[in-house]
Structure 1
Amino acid sequence: MAGYATRVKADIARWREAGLIDPATAEALTRDVAANERASLSFGSILAMMAALLFGAAILIFVAANWEAIPRLARVVALFAVIAAGYVGGAVMKTRDHAAIGEALWIVAAAAFGGSIALIGQIYHLSGDEASALVTWCAGAALAAVALRSNPLTVAAVGIADAWLFLKGFDFFGRAEFLHFFIVMAIVLFAVSFWTRSQASRHLIILSVLFYLVLLVGDYDTLRIAVPLLIGSALLFAAAVFAGDPIDRILQLGGRLPLHALLGFLTGIAMIQFELADESTYASGFAVASIVALSGIVAAIMLAGRESRGLRWLAYAGFAFELAIIYSVTLQSMLDTAGFFLAAALLLGILALVIIRVEKRMRAAAHTGAAA
């Protein structure tokens, strides 16, 4: 699929051939697009990152073997040598215009840091648990990301924080309290992502917060979590649609805030529907929640679907999920299922007719204004 810069250059050429812009303007626009085009990852860069991840995994597995045949001091010195070589070597490669290799070496160093935490704890029988080790590893990766202003290291720090959230949330560490500390980690890493210019980290953090809220349902009443998430996501979606440019300049999400807001809305309404699905099939609560879900999906497509293919696909997936859950909950009565689908079809059909007529009038008014 062609990238943004490629499509813009094709549009510039088409505008020039159509006489909409003169050759000098077309050349200036092409130069500006080329100057601001982000360099894509080459195949070699991707292989370098994959090699770094594999090498880091090898270090961690080697540490897990506990190096019984190697003296303690030699083990510690070897790990710290790998850390130093990774960070220093990566910096040298970055200065020599080998950015991908430099970032890969930094990933290796961050993995070696995590391995050193486990090894030193094993050797010297230090107090603490795996959860604390992950937090320390995350902090180390985040500090390295700040010092080196590294996008991949920021993503790695977020990934380590997500690993802590997953393991802690599913009781791998035998937690007695809930993992509210993740919110602190998310806020700090979100702030770090602006310094390191890591848009990918911000997207990952938002998805991680949604996962955190899903885990929160296990300890709290579902509606206490789902209803605020639903309302907050709807308000955030409205703000992203009607005041998108100022908000995106602040959050720097590449215009994808509506996509995250829609995902939050669908997550919240799914929580509510699962909670109400245990009630009687004839209870009105589930029906109301389903109508809200379908209406929200339609509104999302109407307001932001034209500009975002990803949002459209998410809305279609949400619509399919709604059909599946409505059918499964009302399976006891096929007549109720058919009646609900018929009412929903009529409602969506009426909305479609209204939208089509409004869009035709808007296009006609635009053409009239252009002709005048």
Structure 2
Amino acid sequence: HAAIGEALWIVAAAAFGGSIALIGQMYHLSGDEASALVTWGAGAALAAVALRSNPLTVASVGIADAWLFLKGFDYYSRSEFPHAFVIMAIVLFAVSFWTRSQAARHLIILSVLFYLVLLVTNHDTLQVAIPLVAVSALLFAASVFAPDPVDRVVQLGGRLPLHALLGFLTGLAMIQFELADESTYNSGFAIASVIALAGIVAAIVLAGRESRGLRWLAYLGFAFELAIIYVVTLQSMLDTAGFFLAAAMLLGILAIVIIRVEKRMKGPDAKGATA
């Protein structure tokens, strides 16, 4: 059975990783956990290509993510940042087309976002966040206004708008955290907040009907924006009572809008099911 074969390949990949660790301990080989993960991931990726295995491709991406995690959070004790992850991501993204692994492509995109979050610890935040916001907005627009051609290229099952919205909100969150301490002295934080809220509304209007996941991500993004705006205004000693009043009214309006939107989204689905 195909599923049994895939499971055995995963077991073999795990055994390969365990053998690397065991040999390293037995012969006291130089190197660290990150180096072992690179060897393990390379072997798993080669096996995925040779066997054209979807699960092995996902496993290879997971190993690359583990390497990024180790190197990224070990950055402060080392002199190098794990920029090599970009090459890993590109190679594995290409491999995912050969192995027909849509799940791996989704995981790679999320991993790239995690890489960019780590990157702001090594670079100027705005130099990373602003391009991320711009690229995410362009990808969202392309995936909404030309969904079929775009999905034929990326082959994400129509979920590129969801990833693009996540990237958009992640980039704006970076900007807001960077400008939060300076919000008393300039309007950068307010502008970023307005852009985030406008982007959330646009995402729901343009692509909310087709994706329930996108709608809930937009709702979570709105809740995050409300929370960070409150924290920043509290730090700047503004009138919190007025904020609570405005927030309560805004949440009430949002609840009404969400209920109406969800009813409209469910309406066509129910009619299609009865038909």
TM-score strictly above 0.5: yes
Q: What secondary structure sits across from 1:277 in the alignment?
A: helix
Q: What secondary structure sits across from 2:181 in the alignment?
A: coil
- 1:338 alignment counterpart: 243
Q: Distance in 1 between matches of 2:108 and 2:132?
A: 16
Change (3 A) 1:295 1:280: closer
- 2:140 alignment counterpart: 237
- 2:205 alignment counterpart: 302
1:197-244 CA-partner distances (Å, limit 9, x unpaired) = 110000000000000000001011111111110111111111111111
In the superposition, the TM-score normalised over structure 2's length comes to 0.86
Q: CA RMSD in A?
A: 2.4
Match of 2:6 among 98, 103, 107: 103
Q: Distance in 1 between matches of 2:116 and 2:14?
A: 29
- 2:267 alignment counterpart: none
Change (3 A) 1:265 1:335: same
- 1:157 alignment counterpart: 60
Aligned length: 252
CA shift at 1:128, angstroms? 2.3
Q: Does 1:274 align with 2:177?
A: yes
Q: What secondary structure sits across from 2:158 in the alignment?
A: coil
- CA contact under 8 A between 2:183 and 2:232: conserved in structure 1? no
- 1:214 alignment counterpart: 117
Match of 1:120 among 20, 23, 43: 23
- 2:156 alignment counterpart: 253
Q: Distance in 2 between matches of 1:339 and 1:288?
A: 21
Unmatched runs of 5 consecutive residues or more in structure 2: 262-275
Change (3 A) 1:172 1:222: closer
CA shift at 1:172, angstroms? 7.6
**What does 1:53-68 align with in structure 2 at a 5 Å threshold?**
none
Letter in 2 for 1:135: V
CA shift at 1:124, angstroms? 2.1
Match of 2:128 among 194, 213, 225: 225
Change (3 A) 1:341 1:270: farther
The structure with more radius of gyration: 1
- CA contact under 8 A between 2:21 and 2:36: conserved in structure 1? yes
- 1:367 alignment counterpart: none
In the superposition, the TM-score normalised over structure 1's length comes to 0.64
- CA contact under 8 A between 1:330 and 1:336: conserved in structure 2? no
- CA contact under 8 A between 1:167 and 1:173: conserved in structure 2? no
Q: Distance in 1 between matches of 2:14 and 2:57?
A: 13
**What percentage of aligned pairs have identical amino acids?**
79
- 2:73 alignment counterpart: 170
1:14-59 CA-partner distances (Å, limit 9, x unpaired) = xxxxxxxxxxxxxxxxxxxxxxxxxxxxxxxxxxxxxxxxxxxxxx
Q: Distance in 1 between matches of 2:34 and 2:172?
A: 32
Q: Does 1:191 align with 2:94?
A: yes
